[in-house]
Amino acid sequence: MAKKKEETMSLIDTFSEFKETKNIDRTTMVGVLEESFRSVVAKIFGSDENFDVIVNPDKGDFEIYRNREVVADGEVNDENKEITLTAAREIDPDYEVGEEVSEPIDFAKFGRRAILTLRQTLASKILELEHDSLYNKYKDRVGEIMAAEVYQTWKHETLLMDDEHNELLLPKNQQIPRDFFHKGDTVRAVIDRVDNTNGNPKIYLSRTSTEFLRRLLEQEIPEIADGLISLRRIARIPGERAKIAVESYDDRIDPVGACVGVKGSRIHGIVRELNNENIDVINYTSNIKLFIQRALSPAEVSNIVLNEEERKAEVYLRPEEVSLAIGKGGMNIKLASMLTEFTIDVYREVEGGEETEDIYLDEFSDEIDQWVIDAIKSIGLTTAKEVLNAPRDMLIEKADLEEDTVDEVLRILKAEFDDENN
């Protein structure tokens, strides 16, 4: 008796756990419970076709009935679906051959194994439902900005929890370089992607994507949220610097001024969120030359030669403007290229003096290693003058050469023209 009571309590516990499960509506709950009972019944009897399962999750109880056809004594072929007339009349003396007998089944009588199987089946289906619920909640929200609480930080990623305690992942490569989180911190990020491999959804966040900056701008600047100002282009080097191109269709609105705010009041909040990532705001234009010129600000451009087919631009500047165009570590020119979607090469303007004949780099192979020549040629520079007119920093970064190597190349090339002039 005590054993049966224990098994009955186990079933009640199963219902209680299920009722507390989050994000599962009543209809789904009843369906899953019924399906789980049928699964166990089928394992015990070989089939659940002739069973009625009635679930009442609110009261924490259920009823199972087995329906069998009455057949003459000695003619039973399937004990699960047929019952002899004698056995049927023990239930009710009025039964006749061909009628259907419906009798209650005491699930607890099947013992611990059946109850354990039921609990395992329910646990599996609950987990599946939770996964589906999580996936459905986030699959259409990619690109949205959200806030979540830091739960744990590891070497390669940070685990966060949303307001329903769902797990979210912020990989290290999607964190701004100076990001540092403590447990309990509230972190804002954009939903980057939802992976549902093998029915096990994982939600990945990002703070380095351009979409994160876009959403922050929409939140902080009402004119962008209202559609009065359009964000045409965004380029970012996360944690360092960003450039955005904006446009307004209303002549009364200054898009750059509206984004920056009085004394930078609007943009400062975003800069702080991005760990002091500087943000340059420029006016968008469909005039490519003018757009490139604005993108290279604060440098003043003298002339631009475009190759629209190859998406390349040769930009000529006065010598004192070259370093401004390139920026620290080549950051300004890199962002300008990303923003305009043109490969930008900058050149110093040659002032005065007579033109001397140019020389192909390959002619210096006796003084400069061929691999160095090939590295320089790979960035589009094929003659000595082109190299001498190119900024030193660009040669170091784009050709991926050591500073000493570049200085030696420049010395050799300059010496050649000095000798000719002498």
H-type alpha helices, 21-110:
26-45, 85-91
389 pLDDT above the threshold of 70:
yes
Pick the closest to residue 334 from 249, 398, 403 (CA basis).
398
Q: Which residues on neighbouring strands pair with residue 54, listed in sequence order?
A: 63
Higher pLDDT, 407 or 30: 407
pLDDT-wise least confident of 194-203, 226-235, 411-420: 411-420
Across 176-181, average pLDDT: 92
Radius of gyration of the chain (CA): 37
- pLDDT given at position 143: 93
How is the beta sheet containing 343-348 ordered, strand by strand?
Answer: 303-307, 312-317, 343-348
278-283/241-248 β-pairing:
parallel
- pLDDT given at position 19: 56
What span, in angstroms and rounded, lies between the C-alpha atoms of 406 and 372?
Answer: 9
H-type alpha helices, 139-248:
210-220, 222-225
- pLDDT given at position 158: 95
319 pLDDT above the threshold of 90:
no
Of how many residues is the chain composed?
422
Q: Which residues on neighbouring strands pair with residue 152, listed in sequence order?
A: 159
Residue 280 token pair:
């340059």
- pLDDT given at position 214: 95
Q: Which pLDDT band holds residue 16 (cuts at 50, 70, 90)?
A: low
- pLDDT given at position 202: 93
Across 270-297, average pLDDT: 93
- pLDDT given at position 105: 84
Strand, coil or helix: 23: coil
140 pLDDT above the threshold of 70:
yes
Highest mean pLDDT among 94-108, 168-182, 359-373: 168-182
- pLDDT given at position 4: 45
pLDDT-wise least confident of 20-24, 224-228, 363-367: 20-24
Mean pLDDT, all residues of the chain: 85
Higher pLDDT, 362 or 286: 286
> Are 133 and 23 contacting, i.e. CB atoms less than 8 angstroms apart?
yes
Higher pLDDT, 9 or 294: 294
8 pLDDT above the threshold of 50:
no
- pLDDT given at position 56: 77
Q: What percent of the chain has pLDDT over 90?
A: 41
Q: Which tens digit of pLDDT belongs to each residue from 395-410?
A: 888 888 899 999 999 9
> Are 134 and 201 contacting, i.e. CB atoms less than 8 angstroms apart?
yes
Q: Which tens digit of pLDDT belongs to each residue from 200-258?
A: 899 999 999 999 999 999 999 999 999 999 999 999 999 999 999 999 988 888 999 99
Higher pLDDT, 249 or 279: 279
- pLDDT given at position 422: 52
Residue 150 token pair:
């830091």
Residue pointed to by tokens 């509206």: 258
Higher pLDDT, 416 or 339: 339
Q: What domains can be seen in the chain, in order of their start residue? A: 2-136 (3.30.1480), 146-208 (2.40.50.140), 285-349 (3.30.300.20), 361-421 (1.10.150)
Q: Which pLDDT band holds residue 378 (cuts at 50, 70, 90)?
A: confident
What span, in angstroms and rounded, lies between the C-alpha atoms of 126 and 31?
Answer: 12
Across 343-366, average pLDDT: 73
> Are 260 and 281 contacting, i.e. CB atoms less than 8 angstroms apart?
yes
> Are 229 and 282 contacting, i.e. CB atoms less than 8 angstroms apart?
no
Higher pLDDT, 29 or 38: 38
Q: Count CB-CB contacts under 10 A for residue 349.
A: 13
User: Exposed, middle or buried by CB within 10 Å (0-12, 13-18, 19+), for 38?
Assistant: middle
What span, in angstroms and rounded, lies between the C-alpha atoms of 332 and 315?
Answer: 14
- pLDDT given at position 7: 46
Q: Taking the model in full, what pTM does it have?
A: 0.68
